[in-house]
Amino acid sequence: MRKFDSFFIGLLLFSMFFGAGNLIFPPFLGTLSGTSFWLAMAGFVLTAVGLPLLVIFAIANVKGGIKAIGDRVHPVFSTVFMVIVYLSIGPFLAIPRNANVAFEMGLIPLVKTSTSMTVVLLLFSAVFFLLVYLVSLNPTNLEKYLGRFITPVLLFAMVILCVVGLFKLEGNFQAPTGGYESGAFFKGFLEGYNTMDALAALAFGIVILTAVGRRGVTDERKMKGYMIKAALIAGTLLASVYVFLGIIGGKMSGEFTDGTQVLTAVSTTLFGQSGTLLIGLIFTLACFTTVVGLTSACGQYFSKLVPKASYKTVVLVTTLVGFTLTNMGLTQILKVSVPFLTTAYPLTIVLIVLTFFHQQFKGARVVYVSALSFAGVFAVISGLNAFGLNLGPIEMIRSTLPLADVGLEWVVPSIVGTMIGILIAKLSPKAEPVLE
């Protein structure tokens, strides 16, 4: 690899991570958290940056990547879990969410109110997904298109917005609201789920491996080093952007319902009508790069899972499904995302954390099974609760668990499940399969 290749691969990873949620949530967090901003942002960065980096590190450290990690629980679990993750961060959730946000922020402000938005969305999404399909067709060129061309333009636009905002916005942080009045750190921690980056990292690992491998790197140790370096570059950029977006959001006063309104207000306050074009450019580029990354990741995963399905066929199907669901509208998509993330994130966190302690409990499969079973029960309960289902006595039990008041009721059961698994492994070492 050449001197700056790791840097450009890091930009590629950043561009794939940095989508709709990454733009929307930090400024809204800044507005709501107010004087508790730094605590809230620390929690947000922990799950929105730290956890995705841990996933990449885990994939780099384990031969066979995320499939091998999932196989430590059970091969069936590995396949089912990864299929659900890829479909969710792909055509069924994250892809249409990003396309919708790109439409709402990049095009709607420029369209006359008398125009039929249904027709405009149809035309926009048709062009958007056609470009996604064309760029995604050759995964070996993603680093060139996304890392070298599009991402520098995106970062330049972000620098303009953030730097001008820091110097020209004169507002001060207000009293925290919206759940940040107490437990701001944990509130920010849970908000970090909404970026979906920890789940996306499970998929993006294969894209980064492809980008490194096409440069002739075959040595596993060097491959690991390049992946970690790229992840650190992407993580540093993500954390920096989050902090700056959060600060300028905290300087805005007024009633806002989401981060898109905050950023729209920031851009028009700073640049007038030109600000609409700037923020539209930022959202469109950010969402486009993420959708391309997710589409390519789905293509690479499912074409290997189902050998009869070629990479190009999977990419075509992914873009068609994403196009169809995009035209359902953003509101319906977001209704599904929060309950799903509430369920999926605990399982991801537990699985990745156990990976780093694999040698300490000698890779005993029962530890993985026990920990994820305990975490999974309460993750599903939390997800059903987020859907608004009344679980009666089950909800009462959930609410009495430690950390339930901050949405982390699965933590203690996960620890208990891990301890039980370790105990079982020690009491019956011969009966317990041990993984390398």
Q: Tell me, what's the pLDDT at 381?
A: 85
Taking only the tens place, the pLDDT of each residue in 272-286 is 888 888 999 999 999
> Does the pLDDT of residue 431 top 50, yes or no?
no
Q: Which two tokens stand for residue 306?
A: 């189902």
Separation CA 325–CA 345 (nearest Å):
23
> What CATH number is given for 5-337 in this structure?
1.20.1740.10
**170-175: average pLDDT:** 87
Q: 57: helix, coil or strand?
A: helix
Closest by Cα among 40, 341, 14 to 185 = 40
Closest by Cα among 120, 107, 276, 93 to 196 = 93
Separation CA 300–CA 207 (nearest Å):
8
In degrees, rounded to 5, the angle at the alpha carbon of residue 204 between the alpha carbons of residues 340 and 188 is 45
Taking only the tens place, the pLDDT of each residue in 102-143 is 998 888 888 766 667 888 999 999 999 999 999 999 887 787
Separation CA 5–CA 397 (nearest Å):
52
Choice between 211 and 73, residue whose per-residue pLDDT is larger: 73
Count of Cβ atoms closer than 10 Å to residue 351 Cβ: 24
Where does 169-257 have alpha helices with state H?
A: 184-191, 197-213, 220-250
> Does the pLDDT of residue 152 top 70, yes or no?
yes
DSSP state of 434: B
Separation CA 357–CA 364 (nearest Å):
11
**57-68: average pLDDT:** 84
Domains of the chain, residue spans = 5-337, 357-436
Separation CA 233–CA 34 (nearest Å):
29
Q: Tell me, what's the pLDDT at 332?
A: 66
Looking at the DSSP bridge assignments, the partners of residue 364 are 434
Q: Tell me, what's the pLDDT at 434?
A: 46
Residue carrying the six token digits 């929060």? 338
> Does the pLDDT of residue 357 top 80, yes or no?
yes
**Among 58-62, 297-301, 320-324, 367-371, which stretch is predicted with the lowest mean pLDDT?**
58-62
> Does the pLDDT of residue 307 top 50, yes or no?
yes
Q: Tell me, what's the pLDDT at 314?
A: 96
Q: Tell me, what's the pLDDT at 248?
A: 94
Q: Tell me, what's the pLDDT at 15?
A: 87
What share of the chain in percent tops pLDDT 90?
A: 39
Where does 107-176 have alpha helices with state H?
A: 117-136, 142, 151-168
> Does the pLDDT of residue 309 top 60, yes or no?
yes
**Among 24-33, 202-211, 301-310, which stretch is predicted with the lowest mean pLDDT?**
202-211
Q: Which one of 97-106, 124-133, 246-255, 338-347 scores highest in mean pLDDT?
A: 124-133
Helix (H) or strand (E) holding 276: helix 273-305
**pTM (global) more than 0.85:** no
Q: How confident is the model at residue 315 (pLDDT cuts 50, 70, 90)?
A: very high
DSSP letter string, 2-20:
-TTHHHHHHHHHHHHH-SH
Separation CA 180–CA 247 (nearest Å):
15
CA 8 vs CA 139, 150, 210, 417: distances in Å:
15, 11, 14, 41
Mean pLDDT of the chain: 86
Q: Tell me, what's the pLDDT at 43?
A: 95
Q: Tell me, what's the pLDDT at 433?
A: 52
Choice between 217 and 81, residue whose per-residue pLDDT is larger: 81
Sign of the torsion formed by the C-alpha atoms of 416, 418, 421 and 423: negative
